[in-house]
Structure 1
Amino acid sequence: MVLGYSRAIYVEFTNRCDIHTFIRCLIHGFEYFGGVTDIVLTDRMKTVILGTGEDRKPIWNSNFEDLAATLGFTPKVCRVQRPQTKGKIESGIDFVKSNFLPGRKFIDYGDLNHQAIVWCEKKNRRIHGTTGERPIDRLKEENLKPLPTSDRYQKFLEQVRKVHKDGLLSFDGVRYGVPWQYSGKEVVVRDKNGKIEILYDGKVIATHEKHYRSRTIVFLKDQYKGLKEAEGMFYPKPRAIKLSSLEVEKRSLGVYESLLEVGTV
């Protein structure tokens, strides 16, 4: 993200580019800048618009449109085949590629994003080549609107996930554990302050430190406690039904004989 007036920059790396990840990054950017801009200009990507109507107006992705209404910004997209309308962000991406990434070493996405914030802090205090001023100083004149209270936009940091039979669910490529009794159920996963909270019916049933390395498995303490006593069953046992209790319709043998004649030559 690059602010239009101050040229303050925010950088975050992810291993996904879906709508949920995009919205999380956008919120993190606003939190970093300390407020919300009046307008958010983006590329014409499907995480933002699904197409255009007969009046050529954008058909917004409902999640993104909901975020805009909640945070109070006006969404806009770049004009088709007019790359100059997003020159600030394009030059910002080139700046990251040429100034931040070369020779960079990191353990995982968490480590990389920590280094990115340190780099942003440094670059936002340099004299900008276009404005001749420090972005951190001009940021005070951006007139950003205050973010609403976190409970207003917390839902955008949550996702529904189904717990597998092994008592694990997948979130951002990492598998997190919950008490085995919730296997097969749908839960809400919340990314909050470096923690992963898992809720069922509004109640937190598990909390984990956030991990960033894909395919990592994070178990919960006492995750399978009581499983042996339950005879290893994740789901209720099937209930046997005596055939003698079922009512079978009585038919004449002639009905079955007529069925056997169907299709014969």
Structure 2
Amino acid sequence: MVLDPHRWLELRRFRGLLESGAISLSEIARETGLDRKTVRKYLSAPGPATPPRRSANGRSRARAIDEFAPLVDSMLRAEVLMKAAVIHERLASEYGFTGNYQRTKLYVQDARPRIAEELGITPKELAGMHRRFEVIPGAQAQVDWGDEGRTLAHMGIGKVYSFHMTLSYSRDPFCCFTTSQDLQSFFDCHRRAFSHFGGVPMTIVYDRTKTVVRRHVAPGEAVPLHPEAVGFAGHYDFDIDVLAAYRPTGKGRVERQVLIVRDHVLSGRAFCSVEEMDAAFAAWVPLRRAQIHKTHREVIGERAARDHAALKPLPPTPYLVAERHLRPVGKDCLVAFGGNLYSVPARRVRPRQLVEIRATKSQVMLHSTVPGTDGDTLLAMHARVVGRGVRVVEEQHWDGLPTGKGRRTTTGDIPPRPRPQPRGEEAGPLQALLNRAAATRIEVGRRPLSVYDELTGTRPFTTSRPTKESS
């Protein structure tokens, strides 16, 4: 079989993989639709890789993708970064294409640089490009963290973080500063952002942070969300949009905002508290809203007014975000959490029973995993203590447990207990034997063994040795 130049270019892509052992001749044959012997002929033969000659009649065998090549080129001219999978899907569903995806992918790999060159895009620019999107007012916000380092180290605060939320339509910013990135701080910052904007966007975009994603999964798999994130989003009625892995451009609006706040609010200034840092951002916001954004070419404040008007209203009550953990109950009716011990009622638990801890920034609530007769699961509620090694106990939780107050000690002799007097007639010997306490005080007579020998008429036992005379 003689390959035409197009098929040869398609087959030549696999030569490096074959030489490195990453792929076999059979696999290449399946991918290209060629016979295994043909693949061996053109890829395993020694010498330079040269394209095969045409057949004797000068005609080459037509490929299924060749008929659709102009259509693929037009798709790439409209969107040069369109994925080959999308192109193959549209060809199959809209134009009746019957070829396989591998043929489409190989053609797109050849055509994309050519189309990019026609459009005046260099390969370097093509590698750094991404798809730009715009949204309607109130449709989306993006969230990100910023690490501000040891900004307040002189005040004894080790780390400061900045929380950012940016409305995607107007680029209207919100920022606040915290000393923790835990679950309560994360969603408390959300509530402050909603109050700042006056409403809730329809969708919020996140990266794969542990306060939103319960665990990481392989690309293409469904991302399991954190239960508290799901509850918070349901209460405020917005959708969670988690970015694909390694796609930082998906929330470029808020990532750019992190740098802008750092340059315009924090740079060259000294602060004594996070409250001062929050006040500095609040003073800068009017300046930001008065600027014309370089992308949408409108005043940010005017566009933000339309954004705010389209936001969903806030619910009447806030959502209480809590850490949730399962912990066993100790024999002392104490439950360990955060390096401290908290009591639960002794009459409602048993040792090693698992209880659920729901902890906020100010409270620790301990719940039974099985509802009681009244349907209530709350066992105890304590104020959350700061630090470690603290024991928080409500005395009524230990009601019914031994107190140890009945134990006594002495350094003197223990006086004898008075002997109980029998009722009625004097107790006989049998009654004395039955009474263990009395039996220990019965005096036993002592007599020599010879008395028993005389009574029985037996010869007394002697240990004297026989003499020579007697022998």
Spell out, residue by residue over 1:196-231, the C-alpha distance to the aligned partner (whole angstroms, 9 max, x if none): x87999xxx99xxxxxxx99xxxxxxxxxxxxxxxx
Residues 150-229 of structure 1: pairs in structure 2 closer than 5 A = 151=317, 153-156=318-321
Report the Cα offset of residue 125 of structure 1: 2.6
Q: Does 1:28 align with 2:192?
A: yes
Residues 185 and 242 of structure 1, relative CA distance in 2, 3 Å threshold: closer
Match of 1:4 in 2: 168
Contact 2:184–2:360 (CA under 8 A) maintained in structure 1:
no
Spell out, residue by residue over 1:173-210, the C-alpha distance to the aligned partner (whole angstroms, 9 max, x if none): xxxxxxxxxx9569x9988xxxxx87999xxx99xxxx
Residues 50 and 199 of structure 1, relative CA distance in 2, 3 Å threshold: closer
Residues 39 and 51 of structure 1, relative CA distance in 2, 3 Å threshold: same
Q: Which moved more, 1:53-62 or 1:5-14?
A: 53-62
Match of 1:172 in 2: none
* Alpha-carbon distance between aligned partners in 2 of 1:190 and 1:121, rounded to the nearest angstrom: 34
Match of 1:256 in 2: none
* Alpha-carbon distance between aligned partners in 2 of 1:185 and 1:94, rounded to the nearest angstrom: 47
Contact 1:2–1:8 (CA under 8 A) maintained in structure 2:
yes
- Candidates 258, 270, 276, aligned match of 1:105: 270
Higher relative contact order (CA 8 A, sep 6+): 1
Q: Determine which structure has more spread, i.e. the larger CA radius of gyration.
A: 2
What SS does the aligned partner of 1:2 have? strand
Contact 1:71–1:148 (CA under 8 A) maintained in structure 2:
yes
- Candidates 308, 314, 319, aligned match of 1:147: 314
How many residue pairs were aligned? 188
Match of 1:47 in 2: 211
Contact 2:291–2:300 (CA under 8 A) maintained in structure 1:
yes
Report the Cα offset of residue 140 of structure 1: 2.5
Q: % of aligned pairs identical?
A: 25
Q: Does 1:90 align with 2:255?
A: yes
Report the Cα offset of residue 115 of structure 1: 1.4
Residues 69 and 14 of structure 1, relative CA distance in 2, 3 Å threshold: same
- RMSD across aligned positions (CA): 3.7
* Alpha-carbon distance between aligned partners in 2 of 1:78 and 1:135, rounded to the nearest angstrom: 26
Residues 185 and 135 of structure 1, relative CA distance in 2, 3 Å threshold: farther
* Alpha-carbon distance between aligned partners in 1 of 2:359 and 2:217, rounded to the nearest angstrom: 34
Contact 2:201–2:311 (CA under 8 A) maintained in structure 1:
yes
TM-score, with structure 1 as normaliser: 0.60
Q: Which runs of 5+ in 2 are unaligned?
A: 1-164, 325-340, 345-357, 366-377, 388-392, 409-471
Match of 1:170 in 2: none
Q: Which has the higher helix share?
A: 2
Match of 2:444 in 1: none
* Alpha-carbon distance between aligned partners in 2 of 1:78 and 1:110, rounded to the nearest angstrom: 31
Contact 1:189–1:199 (CA under 8 A) maintained in structure 2:
yes
* Alpha-carbon distance between aligned partners in 2 of 1:61 and 1:242, rounded to the nearest angstrom: 52
Structure 1 stretches of at least 4 aligned residues deviating more than 6 Å after TM superposition = 188-191, 197-201
Residue 119 of structure 1 aligns with an amino acid whose one-letter code is: W
TM-score, with structure 2 as normaliser: 0.35
